[in-house]
Amino acid sequence: MQNLAPILSPSDLATLTASRPDVRVLDVRTPGEFESVHIRGAYNVPLDTLSEHSAEIAGVTAPVILVCQSGGRARKAEAALKAAGMDNLHVLHGGMNAWVGAGLPVGGGKRRLSLERQVRIIAGSLAAIGGILGFFVNPAFALIPAGVGSGLVCAGITDKCGMALGLSYLPYNRASCDVPAMVSALASGRSPAAPATSR
């Protein structure tokens, strides 16, 4: 069995999945993000549900490639699963952004904004509105962009974003995903059910 690097490029992963049918691609994004676009054959177990299923997932002996939008959540998933005793974990460098950017095939159908883009839109809107209100209405409104900026700094330092966590619970981001069935398929190596049309 070949030794795999802990971090794989999109082209490395494409070659690996073509030559090794036992490899499991585990996408830890929200069901809404997964439904929009994903690597064909990937299993979707959102990061916020991973800890309750880590014992089942830890039984997988085949290589598991962790995927998120850009890499941050995959790293958190890697830490959680390593704590559960897994040592066969690898991360897709750049996540789905890199995979799509490389022009590799995807499944999906419903276009949705990624969680990261939603955070940028809301944080930017709050900062802009607070700044405008602080200038034209009352200087106290300047506390809004100050709070948003402080939150972003904390998110950067701790790698935990409260806004993203809150947004992940919105119905928009909670498309239907039978997590126990997905975990069962991942653990057994069965093909995941396709949630949407391929393209």
Q: What is the DSSP string of the chain?
A: -----SEE-HHHHHHHHHH-TT-EEEE-S-HHHHHHEE-TT-EE--HHHHHHHHHHHTT--S-EEEE-SSSHHHHHHHHHHHHTT---EEEETTHHHHHHHTT---EE-S----HHHHHHHHHHHHHHHHHHHHHHT-GGGGHHHHHHHHHHHHHHHHS--HHHHHHHTSGGG-----HHHHHHHHHHTPPPPP-S-B-
Residue written as token pair 């506390």:
143
Catalytic, out of 68, 154, 161, 177: 68
68 is catalytic: yes
CATH of domain 7-112+175-188: 3.40.250.10
For the chain, give every domain's residue range: 7-112+175-188, 115-168
- pLDDT > 90: percent of the chain: 71
pLDDT digits (tens, 9 = 90+) for 137-175: 999 999 999 999 999 999 889 888 889 888 888 887 776
Q: State the pLDDT confidence band at 192, using cuts at 50, 70 and 90.
A: confident
Q: Return the higher-pLDDT residue of 3 and 95.
A: 95
- pLDDT > 70: percent of the chain: 95
With a cut of 60, say whether residue 199 has pLDDT above it: no
